[in-house]
C-alpha cells in the first residue's frame, strides 16, 4: 500500500517505560515506520523526555493538565486538533478515555479514524462513580464513532459483539524474543538470588490486585522472596496501602518501576511471575514473562486464559479473587520448580509462535487499508 501519515493519540509517551498502551504504540509504530509510513506520536511532558524521533517515530510534545481526571482527555483533545491541522491519513486512538475526541477527527476532517480498545477502562476500580460513567460512555462511543474498532483480546471482541452489536478487528499484543539477560546487577541491588523469588510487574492499581498477592504470599513459608516491580498510576492512596502490607513481611522487596535490561534480569531469574489481576485487556507482562521461559501464576480471567490455555506445570491458573486458590497455586509452583520450568519452556514456544509484534503490525496496516478503501471487518483471521 502507499505510505500513509498516521497520528497516534492516547499514549503517554514514547519510548515506553511503564504502560501496556505505550509499549503497543512504540512496537507497532516503529515497525510501521520501517515499512515506509510516517508515524507521529503525541507525548505528554511528564512521561518522556525524548524529543525529535525514536525508532523512526516522530515525537510531538503536547501540553496537558497533570491530574487524575484531566491528564488523558486534555492531552487527547489537543492532540486531535494537532492531527486535524496536519491533515493526516489516519488518526489512531488508543484506549477508551483518550478516544472520546475521536468524533472531532471523524466528522471535522478527511482523516480515517481507528480506535484500539486495550481494556474496559470503565471497570477500573481507581475511578469514582462519575469517571466510570464517563468511561462507559466512551466505550459506547468507541463502538459507533471510529471507522474501525480494534480489540486486543477475544474476550473484548465478544464483549463488543454482545454489548454493542459491533464487529471489531482482533489484533492482539505481541512479544519479541527477549534479549539475553546478562549480569545480575538488578538482583544484587534488590538483594535477591536467582530462582529464589516470585515476581510481580505492573502498575499498583486495585484491579491488578498486588495487595491480594501480598496477603497470599504471607501464607507461604520459607525464605523465598517477593519482588513487586511497579508504582502509582494516580493511585497514591492505594499504593500507600500496598506499602503498609508489604512492610509487615521482610521478605517483600518493593522495587518501584523497573525497565529495560534490569527488568529482563528479573524476568529471567524469577522462580515464577505472578499476575493476580481481576481485569485485563491483553497483559503484556504475562506475554513477556512467558517469552522469558519463566513459570507463571495467573488469575483465570479470560485474557489470561487466552494466553495460557490451560493450567499445568509452568502455567498455573487460579480462581480470580480467591486468596486461598492463589496460595494453593503458589505452593504448587514452589514445590517442584524443575517441573514448572520444563512446562514454562513449552509455554515459551507457544507464546512466541502465537504473539508477534510483526504480525500485529501487518494486521494494523490491514485495518488502515480497509478503512481507506471503505471496507468492513472481514470474516477471516483478523476477526475470529
Fold for 5-174+356-383, please state it. Answer: Rossmann fold (3.40.50)
Within a 10 A sphere around the Cβ of 300, how many other Cβ atoms?
16
127 band by pLDDT with thresholds 50, 70 and 90: low
Angle between helices 210-217 and 236-247 (to 10 degrees): 10
Residue 182 or residue 248, greater confidence: 248
133 band by pLDDT with thresholds 50, 70 and 90: confident
Residue 104 clears pLDDT 90, i.e. is over it: yes
Task: Give the single-character DSSP code of 312.
Answer: B
Peptide bond before 15: cis, by omega within 30 degrees of 0? yes
Over residues 292-309, mean pLDDT:
97
Question: What is residue 262's three-state secondary structure?
Answer: helix
Instruction: Give residue 314's pLDDT.
Output: 98
Over residues 152-167, mean pLDDT:
95
Cell 527488568 sits at which residue? 263
- Residue 203: HSE in the Cβ half-sphere, 13 Å Cα cutoff: 21
Residue 26 or residue 70, greater confidence: 26
Residue 56 or residue 182, greater confidence: 56
Instruction: Give residue 383's pLDDT.
Output: 41
- Per domain, the residue ranges of the chain are 5-174+356-383, 185-354
CATH number of 185-354: 3.40.50.2000
41-56 as b/e, with b when 16 or more CB fall inside 10 Å? bbbbeebbeeeeebeb
Report the candidate in 211, 184, 241, 178 with the shortest Cα–Cα distance to residue 321.
Answer: 211
Q: Report the predicted TM-score, pTM, of the whole model to 2 decimal places.
A: 0.92
Q: In what order do the strands lie in the sheet with 57-61?
A: 52-54, 57-61, 38-43, 5-9, 90-94, 112-117, 148-151, 169-170
113 band by pLDDT with thresholds 50, 70 and 90: very high
Q: What share of residues in the chain are helix, strand, coil (percent, to 5)? A: 45, 15, 40
Over residues 136-147, mean pLDDT:
94
Share the mean pLDDT of the chain: 93
pLDDT > 70: percent of the chain: 96
Give kind and range of the element (H or E) at residue 235: none
In DSSP terms, 112 is beta-bridged to 90
Instruction: Give residue 381's pLDDT.
Output: 41
Instruction: Give residue 379's pLDDT.
Output: 53
Span of 101-110, 224-233, 337-346 with lowest mean pLDDT: 224-233
Q: Per-residue pLDDT tens for 22-47?
A: 999 999 999 999 999 999 999 998 88
Residue 270 clears pLDDT 80, i.e. is over it: yes
- Residue 98 and residue 13 in contact, taking contact as beta carbons nearer than 8 Å: no
Amino acid at each position: 500500500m502507499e505510505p500513509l501519515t498516521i497520528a497516534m493519540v492516547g499514549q503517554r509517551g514514547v519510548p515506553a517505560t511503564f504502560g501496556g498502551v505505550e509499549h503497543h504504540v512504540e512496537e507497532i509504530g516503529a515497525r510501521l515506520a520501517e515499512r515506509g509510513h510516517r508515524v507521529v506520536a503525541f507525548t505528554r511532558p511528564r512521561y518522556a523526555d525524548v524529543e525529535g524521533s525514536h525508532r523512526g517515530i516522530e515525537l510531538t510534545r503536547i501540553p496537558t493538565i497533570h491530574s487524575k481526571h484531566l491528564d488523558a482527555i486534555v492531552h487527547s483533545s489537543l492532540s486531535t486538533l494537532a492531527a486535524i491541522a496536519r491533515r493526516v491519513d489516519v488518526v489512531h486512538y488508543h484506549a477508551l478515555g483518550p478516544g472520546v475526541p475521536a468524533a472531532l477527527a471523524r466528522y471535522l476532517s478527511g482523516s480515517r479514524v481507528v480506535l484500539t480498545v486495550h481494556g474496559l477502562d470503565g471497570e477500573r476500580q481507581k475511578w469514582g462513580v462519575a469517571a466510570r460513567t464517563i468511561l462507559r460512555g466512551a466505550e459506547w462511543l468507541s463502538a459507533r464513532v471510529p471507522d474501525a474498532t480494534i480489540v486486543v483480546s477475544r474476550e473484548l471482541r465478544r464483549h463488543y459483539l454482545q454489548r454493542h452489536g459491533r464487529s471489531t478487528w482482533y489484533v492482539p499484543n505481541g512479544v519479541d524474543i527477549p534479549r539475553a539477560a546478562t549480569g545480575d546487577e538488578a538482583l544484587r541491588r534488590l538483594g535477591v538470588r536467582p530462582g529464589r523469588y516470585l515476581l510481580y510487574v505492573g502498575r499498583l492499581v486495585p484491579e491488578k490486585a498486588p495487595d491480594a498477592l501480598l496477603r497470599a504470599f504471607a501464607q507461604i513459608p520459607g525464605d523465598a522472596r517477593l519482588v513487586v516491580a511497579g508504582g502509582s498510576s494516580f493511585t497514591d492512596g492505594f499504593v500507600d496501602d500496598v506499602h503498609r502490607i508489604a512492610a509487615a513481611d521482610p521478605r517483600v522487596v518493593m522495587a518501584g518501576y523497573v525497565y529495560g535490561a534490569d527488568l529482563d534480569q528479573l524476568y529471567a531469574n524469577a522462580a515464577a511471575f505472578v499476575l493476580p489481576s481481576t481485569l485485563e485487556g491483553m497483559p503484556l507482562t504475562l506475554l513477556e514473562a512467558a517469552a522469558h521461559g519463566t513459570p507463571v501464576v495467573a488469575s483465570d480471567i479470560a485474557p489470561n486464559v487466552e494466553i495460557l490455555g490451560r493450567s499445568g506445570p509452568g502455567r498455573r491458573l487460579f480462581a480470580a479473587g480467591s486468596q486461598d486458590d492463589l496460595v494453593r497455586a503458589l505452593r504448587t509452583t514452589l514445590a517442584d520448580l524443575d517441573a514448572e520450568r520444563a512446562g514454562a519452556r513449552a509455554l515459551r514456544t507457544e507464546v512466541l509462535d502465537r504473539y508477534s509484534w510483526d504480525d500485529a503490525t501487518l494486521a494494523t496496516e490491514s485495518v488502515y487499508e480497509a478503512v481507506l478503501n471503505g471496507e468492513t471487518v472481514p470474516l477471516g483471521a483478523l476477526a475470529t
